[in-house]
């Protein structure tokens, strides 16, 4: 039989007995995770308890097959702990071991030669032992009483021995391995006798006598009346002055509370709670709740803060060393720091970095904390839909916890950390309140000096904390929240910028992570560019870092193989250092290019009438959006496909009407005797927004005039019925998206000229950017051959 293994180094579980085993080692945790926690009805699983003898560095050959009766999970100081409640089922011999599984054979006991004299003596001793046990554990006493009635000597020996604490681990293991029942009864009888003798101390005797009188176990008390028994037993304990064994944690707590620098307003309230705790019995259910609460209060950094060292030139250095480019963002961050230095004001604007993933929003926030010398805490808000995640649960709830803000402060250990509210756009309002409403209070400098977490129920001053937020999509951030923040928009990187980031930051980091000396592995710039163009399609650099990691791991394997002297000489690969990674090596390591140089121009070749490249932007950055239109005989209807939203459909109507109204002047069909069909591929993705207007009017004109649009050009811009091209958002991302796709000519609305001027110089140098004010101008520059349309006067 194969069973999951729980390996323990002290305590022995005998059949019939129960044992509580806290899970502390990684092996046991892995076993629990794999075989118990992931299983529906995880309790009632059979496992093997195996015993490790540390001195001999071996595992005892006999183990115990056990039934998991209960898995208790509790969290203390944010550590999750598991304890297994086990019931011994039978002995087993371990035949083979491959942690976390062992192949075992169940062992059966043999009766042996047990004489009547010993039996009678053993039963008499057990009756005395029962009295002692009543005082120690009522449940065990009841089980022993039942076994005594059954006169099952095998079980009586095991169960009674399991109750003894004095027997050493190794003696207990020998006992476990003894299959002869008569031999075990002899041993048990001896040990029980000794135990009873050692209990003959007059004080202990007095307690037991009194207890005997009180509970009269065996005649009066029914087995199921445990609660009553427990109460009575506790009364005895109190009467005889046994101290509640809670001294250690409560006394330690007192010291911690004294060191906690509690503010004046709350000190008395906390000590009142502490006095209440001291007066409680540790068996009371509220005891642990209050203990955990006061532990949190003591652990919070009420008066601890890190001194600010704002040195602007050092901050500039930190930002430059950690981040390439991003000049605008760095400038704004330095201004922010400068204002903090001069005003000495705790409150200031809350910065919100917005942009596609992997462009360094989180890492720049980390750099701010570093340049201020403050602690950094990241709070991921993605998917939070409950107010209590931010503000905590009220203490009256079972398993109540403090909110994330308080947890972050506890973790930081100072009351002035930089807290990054990551992904504020992914907060959702759930059934139990809106988390963004809770964040409003946190971020409001007027209110946050007395932030009250529901669990803590004491005001905590958050005014020294610097909050920085990040978002991928600002349109998803609730307006009141957005209003409290100063948004710094960050855009994706060009290929050249990515190359610099890779050379200066990502590659050195990956080399270091994989334990490779930079002199031993060189990745050519050409190879990095190949990875950027053909193996990643992203605005940021996260995928690129992953690919560089793969290349470094390949190098690490080569180096490790060459160093490994255990490998037979003929298989040691010959290694010439440094290992140089070029384009071919990249293809060999990373396999077939995932984004075969997405040069749409080359791929699609010459367009047919009705085809055009639009530009779109999503949370992942800018992208080229091919648009197709075709005609059929009909009555001037326009059909649309490709999961288009209402605004996009309306743009198509505007384009159609404009062409119809201007067809005479443009010498093209008015599209009244034909039906047009406009399709935007990637049909599963919803598309919307007015910015495809220019592309759609170009496609419809191309159909109406039966002329082709230039396939090396992409366009974005909204159109009006009067023929004007209106500004749109996301210009930088869209141009970068076109550049990534291999397009070098883009047409943008004239009103977006200022946005385009913010583009990186290398991009500006490589791209031809044409600005247009009217649809006439647009058609003149977008068609394959000059349309020669006479541009009407502009409004
Ligand atoms: N300009 C840069 N210079 C150096 N490293 C950079 C730069 N931009 C990004 N990185 C690196 O790219 C990685 C990803 O960045 P980060 O985690 O900060 O992205 P993010 O914008 O916060 O993404 P998300 O929105 O997914 O959270 C980090 O290791 C970061 O150091």
Q: Is 359 in the pocket of ligand 1 (CB under 6 A)?
A: yes
Q: Which pLDDT value is given to residue 207?
A: 52
358 is in an annotated binding site: yes
- Stretch 114-135: mean pLDDT, rounded? 83
Residue nearest atom 8 in ligand 1 by C-alpha distance? 360
Q: Which pLDDT value is given to residue 430?
A: 64
Calculate the average pLDDT of the chain.
82
Whether 309 contacts 372, CB under 8 Å: yes
Q: Which pLDDT value is given to residue 314?
A: 86
Q: Which pLDDT value is given to residue 49?
A: 93
Cβ atoms within 10 Å of 586's Cβ, excluding its own: 25
729 is in an annotated binding site: no
Q: Which pLDDT value is given to residue 50?
A: 92
Q: Indicate if the pLDDT at residue 547 is higher than 90.
A: yes
Label residue 786 by pLDDT band (50, 70, 90): low
Whether 265 contacts 461, CB under 8 Å: no
Label residue 17 by pLDDT band (50, 70, 90): confident
For 618, the token pair is 């999503």
Q: Which pLDDT value is given to residue 96?
A: 84
Residue for token pair 């709740």:
289
Q: Indicate if the pLDDT at residue 106 is higher than 80.
A: yes
681 is in an annotated binding site: no
- Stretch 290-318: mean pLDDT, rounded? 87
Task: Summarize pLDDT for 398-438 with one digit per residue, the tens.
Answer: 778 888 999 999 999 998 899 999 988 888 766 666 788 88
Q: Which residue has the higher pLDDT, 246 or 511?
A: 511
**410 CA from centroid of ligand 1 (Å):** 26
501 is in an annotated binding site: no
Look at residue 725 and give its three-state secondary structure.
strand
For 172, the token pair is 């207990």
Label residue 218 by pLDDT band (50, 70, 90): very low
Q: Which pLDDT value is given to residue 382?
A: 81
Q: Indicate if the pLDDT at residue 147 is higher than 60.
A: yes
Q: Which pLDDT value is given to residue 548?
A: 94
Assess if CATH 3.30.300.130 describes domain 2-107. no
For ligand 1, pick from 363, 497, 528 the residue to mutate: most ligand atoms within 8 Å of CB: 363
- Stretch 267-286: mean pLDDT, rounded? 84
Residue nearest atom 26 in ligand 1 by C-alpha distance? 357
Q: Which pLDDT value is given to residue 617?
A: 85
Q: Which pLDDT value is given to residue 565?
A: 47
Q: Indicate if the pLDDT at residue 284 is higher than 80.
A: no
Give me the architecture of the 312-489 domain, per CATH.
Answer: 3-Layer(aba) Sandwich (3.40)
361 is in an annotated binding site: yes
Whether 437 contacts 443, CB under 8 Å: no
Q: Indicate if the pLDDT at residue 310 is higher than 70.
A: yes
Q: Which residue has the higher pLDDT, 385 or 19?
A: 19
For ligand 1, pick from 379, 501, 508, 540 the residue to mutate: most ligand atoms within 8 Å of CB: 540
For ligand 1, pick from 359, 381, 544 the residue to mutate: most ligand atoms within 8 Å of CB: 359
Please tell me the distance from the alpha carbon of residue 763 to that of residue 495, in angstroms, as a whole number: 9
- Stretch 440-451: mean pLDDT, rounded? 82
Label residue 228 by pLDDT band (50, 70, 90): low
Q: Is 542 in the pocket of ligand 1 (CB under 6 A)?
A: yes
Q: Which pLDDT value is given to residue 226?
A: 45
CA quadruple 493, 499, 504, 506: dihedral sign? positive
- Stretch 270-274: mean pLDDT, rounded? 89
Please tell me the distance from the alpha carbon of residue 636 to that of residue 671, in angstroms, as a whole number: 5
Q: What single string gives the DSSP state of each residue in 368-387?
A: HHHHHT--EEEEE-TT---H
Q: Is 620 in the pocket of ligand 1 (CB under 6 A)?
A: no
- Stretch 329-357: mean pLDDT, rounded? 83
For 694, the token pair is 């220019």
Whether 611 contacts 712, CB under 8 Å: no
Q: Which residues are annotated as catalytic?
A: 691, 734
Strands (E), 461-557: 466-471, 485-489, 521-523
Task: Summarize pLDDT for 39-76 with one digit per residue, the tens.
Answer: 655 556 789 999 988 777 788 889 999 988 888 776 65
Q: Indicate if the pLDDT at residue 748 is higher than 90.
A: yes
For 408, the token pair is 């972050």
**360 CA from centroid of ligand 1 (Å):** 3
Please tell me the distance from the alpha carbon of residue 764 to that of residue 771, in angstroms, as a whole number: 13
Please tell me the distance from the alpha carbon of residue 532 to that of residue 511, in angstroms, as a whole number: 18
Assess if CATH 3.30.230.10 describes domain 600-782. yes
For 419, the token pair is 């807290």
Residue nearest atom 5 in ligand 1 by C-alpha distance? 323
Whether 727 contacts 752, CB under 8 Å: yes
- Return the percentage of the chain with pLDDT > 90, whole number: 20
**607 CA from centroid of ligand 1 (Å):** 38
Label residue 655 by pLDDT band (50, 70, 90): very high
356 is in an annotated binding site: yes
Q: Which pLDDT value is given to residue 76?
A: 55
Element (H, E) at 195: helix 181-198
Task: Summarize pLDDT for 160-175 with one digit per residue, the tens.
Answer: 888 887 788 888 898 9
Task: Summarize pLDDT for 496-530 with one digit per residue, the tens.
Answer: 889 999 999 999 999 999 888 888 888 999 999 98
- Stretch 328-336: mean pLDDT, rounded? 88
**426 CA from centroid of ligand 1 (Å):** 18
Look at residue 69 and give its three-state secondary structure.
strand
Assess if CATH 3.40.30.10 describes domain 495-590. no
Task: Summarize pLDDT for 554-568 with one digit per residue, the tens.
Answer: 988 888 877 654 444
Q: Indicate if the pLDDT at residue 248 is higher than 50.
A: yes
Cβ atoms within 10 Å of 790's Cβ, excluding its own: 9
**CA distances from residue 404 to 377, 419, 477, 520 in whole angstroms, order as listed:** 11, 11, 19, 44
Residue nearest atom 2 in ligand 1 by C-alpha distance? 323
For the ranges 409-418, 597-606, 741-750, 776-785, the lowest mean pLDDT is seen at: 597-606
Q: Is 498 in the pocket of ligand 1 (CB under 6 A)?
A: no
| Domain residue ranges of the chain, discontinuous segments joined by + | 2-107, 116-239, 247-299, 312-489, 495-590, 600-782
Residue nearest atom 16 in ligand 1 by C-alpha distance? 360
362 is in an annotated binding site: yes
Q: Indicate if the pLDDT at residue 219 is higher than 80.
A: no
**368 CA from centroid of ligand 1 (Å):** 14
For ligand 1, pick from 362, 423, 506 the residue to mutate: most ligand atoms within 8 Å of CB: 362
Q: Which pLDDT value is given to residue 721?
A: 92
Q: Which pLDDT value is given to residue 569?
A: 44
For the ranges 221-235, 326-340, 723-737, the lowest mean pLDDT is seen at: 221-235
Label residue 290 by pLDDT band (50, 70, 90): confident
Q: Which residue has the higher pLDDT, 768 or 278?
A: 768
Residue nearest atom 19 in ligand 1 by C-alpha distance? 358
Q: Which pLDDT value is given to residue 669?
A: 83
Residue nearest atom 25 in ligand 1 by C-alpha distance? 357
- Stretch 103-124: mean pLDDT, rounded? 85
- Stretch 543-547: mean pLDDT, rounded? 93
Q: Which pLDDT value is given to residue 614?
A: 92
Q: Is 323 in the pocket of ligand 1 (CB under 6 A)?
A: yes
Q: Indicate if the pLDDT at residue 244 is higher than 80.
A: no
Q: Which pLDDT value is given to residue 152?
A: 84
Give the residues across from 316 on adjacent strands: none
Q: Which pLDDT value is given to residue 759?
A: 85
Please tell me the distance from the alpha carbon of residue 168 to that of residue 159, in angstroms, as a whole number: 16
Q: Which residue has the higher pLDDT, 82 or 598?
A: 82
Q: Which pLDDT value is given to residue 549?
A: 94
Residue nearest atom 18 in ligand 1 by C-alpha distance? 360
For residue 394, how many C-alpha atoms fall within 13 Å in the half-sphere facing its CB? Answer: 3
Q: Is 470 in the pocket of ligand 1 (CB under 6 A)?
A: yes
Q: Indicate if the pLDDT at residue 692 is higher than 70.
A: yes
| Of 264, 357, 352, 368, the residue nearest 316 (C-alpha) | 368
**Quick one: which atom of ligand 1 is closest to the CA of 509?**
29
Q: What single string gives the DSSP state of each residue in 453-467?
A: -TTT-SEE--TTPEE
Q: Indicate if the pLDDT at residue 77 is higher than 50.
A: yes
Q: Which pLDDT value is given to residue 204?
A: 53
- Return the percentage of the chain with pLDDT > 70, whole number: 86
Look at residue 283 and give its three-state secondary structure.
coil
Q: Which pLDDT value is given to residue 432?
A: 60
**327 CA from centroid of ligand 1 (Å):** 15
Task: Summarize pLDDT for 591-648 with one digit per residue, the tens.
Answer: 887 765 545 555 666 778 888 999 988 777 888 888 888 888 888 788 888 888 888 8
**363 CA from centroid of ligand 1 (Å):** 6
**613 CA from centroid of ligand 1 (Å):** 30
Q: In what order do the strands lie in the sheet with 674-679?
A: 638-641, 674-679, 621-633, 611-618, 713-715, 745-749, 768-772
Residue nearest atom 30 in ligand 1 by C-alpha distance? 360
Q: Is 666 in the pocket of ligand 1 (CB under 6 A)?
A: no
**Quick one: which atom of ligand 1 is closest to the CA of 364?**
18
769 is in an annotated binding site: no
Please tell me the distance from the alpha carbon of residue 349 to that of residue 773, in angstroms, as a whole number: 37
For the ranges 548-552, 570-574, 668-672, the lowest mean pLDDT is seen at: 570-574
Please tell me the distance from the alpha carbon of residue 26 to that of residue 4, in angstroms, as a whole number: 14
């Amino acid at each position: 039989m194969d069973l999951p293994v729980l390996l323990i180094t002290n305590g022995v579980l005998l059949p019939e007995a129960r044992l509580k085993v806290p899970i502390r080692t990684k092996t046991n945790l892995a076993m629990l995770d794999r075989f118990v926690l992931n299983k529906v009805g995880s309790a009632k699983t059979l496992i093997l308890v195996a015993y490790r003898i540390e001195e001999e560095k071996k595992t005892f050959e006999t183990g115990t097959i056990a039934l998991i009766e209960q898995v208790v999970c509790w969290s203390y100081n944010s550590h999750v702990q598991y304890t297994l409640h086990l019931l011994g089922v039978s002995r087993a011999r371990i035949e083979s071991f491959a942690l976390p599984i062992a192949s075992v054979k169940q062992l059966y006991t043999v009766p042996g030669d047990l004489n009547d004299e010993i039996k009678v003596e053993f039963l008499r001793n057990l009756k005395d032992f029962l009295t002692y046990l009543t005082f120690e554990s009522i449940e065990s006493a009841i089980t022993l009483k039942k076994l005594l009635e059954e006169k099952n000597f095998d079980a009586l020996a095991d169960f009674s021995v399991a109750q003894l604490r004095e027997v050493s681990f190794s003696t207990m293991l020998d006992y476990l391995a003894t299959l002869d029942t008569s031999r075990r009864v002899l041993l048990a009888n001896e040990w029980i006798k000794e135990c009873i003798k050692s209990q003959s101390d007059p004080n202990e005797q007095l307690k037991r006598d009194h207890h005997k009188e009180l509970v009269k176990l065996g005649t009066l008390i029914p087995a199921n009346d445990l609660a009553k028994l427990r109460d009575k037993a506790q009364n005895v304990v109190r009467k005889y002055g046994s101290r509640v064994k809670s001294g250690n944690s409560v006394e330690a707590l007192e010291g911690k509370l004294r060191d906690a620098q509690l503010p004046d307003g709350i000190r008395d309230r906390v000590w009142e709670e502490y006095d209440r705790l001291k007066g409680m019995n540790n068996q009371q259910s509220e005891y642990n709740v209050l203990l955990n609460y006061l532990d949190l209060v003591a652990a919070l950094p009420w008066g601890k803060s890190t001194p600010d060292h704002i040195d602007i030139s050092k901050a500039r250095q930190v930002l430059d060393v950690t981040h390439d480019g991003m000049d605008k963002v760095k400038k704004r961050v330095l201004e922010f720091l400068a204002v903090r230095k001069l005003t000495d004001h705790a409150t200031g604007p809350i910065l919100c970095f917005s942009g596609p993933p992997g462009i360094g929003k989180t890492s720049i926030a980390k750099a701010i904390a570093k340049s201020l010398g403050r602690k950094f805490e990241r709070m991921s808000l993605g998917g939070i839909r409950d107010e209590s995640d931010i503000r905590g649960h009220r203490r009256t709830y079972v398993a109540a916890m403090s909110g994330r803000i308080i947890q972050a402060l506890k973790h930081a250990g100072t009351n002035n950390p930089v807290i990054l509210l990551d992904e504020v756009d992914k907060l959702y309002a759930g059934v139990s309140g809106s988390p963004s409403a809770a964040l409003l209070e946190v971020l409001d400098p007027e209110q946050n000096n007395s932030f009250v977490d529901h669990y803590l129920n004491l005001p905590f001053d958050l005014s020294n904390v610097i909050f920085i937020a990040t978002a991928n999509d600002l349109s998803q951030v609730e307006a009141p929240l957005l209003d409290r923040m100063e948004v710094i928009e960050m855009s994706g990187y060009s290929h050249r910028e990515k190359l610099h980031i890779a050379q200066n930051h990502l590659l050195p980091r990956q080399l270091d992570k994989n334990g490779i000396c930079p002199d031993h592995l060189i990745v050519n710039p050409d190879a990095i560019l190949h990875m950027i163009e053909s193996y990643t399609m992203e605005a940021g650099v996260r995928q690129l870092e992953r690919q560089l990691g793969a290349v470094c791991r390949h190098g690490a394997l080569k180096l490790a193989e060459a160093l490994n002297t255990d490998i037979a000489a003929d298989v040691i690969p010959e290694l010439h250092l440094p290992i140089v990674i070029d384009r071919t090596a990249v293809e060999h390591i990373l396999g077939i290019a995932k984004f075969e140089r997405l040069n749409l121009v080359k791929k699609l070749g010459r367009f047919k009438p009705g085809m055009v490249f639009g530009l779109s932007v999503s949370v992942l950055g800018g992208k080229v959006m091919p648009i197709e239109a075709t005609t059929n005989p009909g009555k001037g209807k326009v059909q649309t496909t490709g999961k288009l939203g209402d605004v996009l459909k309306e743009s198509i109507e505007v384009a159609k009407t404009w062409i119809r109204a201007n067809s005479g002047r443009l010498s093209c069909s008015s599209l009244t005797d034909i039906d047009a069909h406009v399709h935007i591929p990637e049909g599963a993705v919803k598309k919307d927004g007015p910015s495809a207007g220019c592309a759609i009017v170009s496609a419809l004109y191309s159909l109406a005039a039966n002329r082709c649009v230039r396939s090396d050009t992409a366009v974005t811009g909204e159109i009006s019925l009067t023929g004007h091209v209106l500004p749109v958002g996301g210009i930088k991302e869209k141009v970068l998206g076109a550049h990534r796709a291999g397009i070098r000519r883009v047409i943008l609305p004239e009103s977006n000229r200022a946005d385009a001027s913010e583009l990186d110089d290398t991009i500006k140098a490589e791209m031809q950017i044409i600005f247009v004010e009217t649809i006439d101008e647009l058609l003149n520059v977008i068609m394959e051959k000059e349309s020669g349309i006479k541009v009407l006067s502009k409004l």
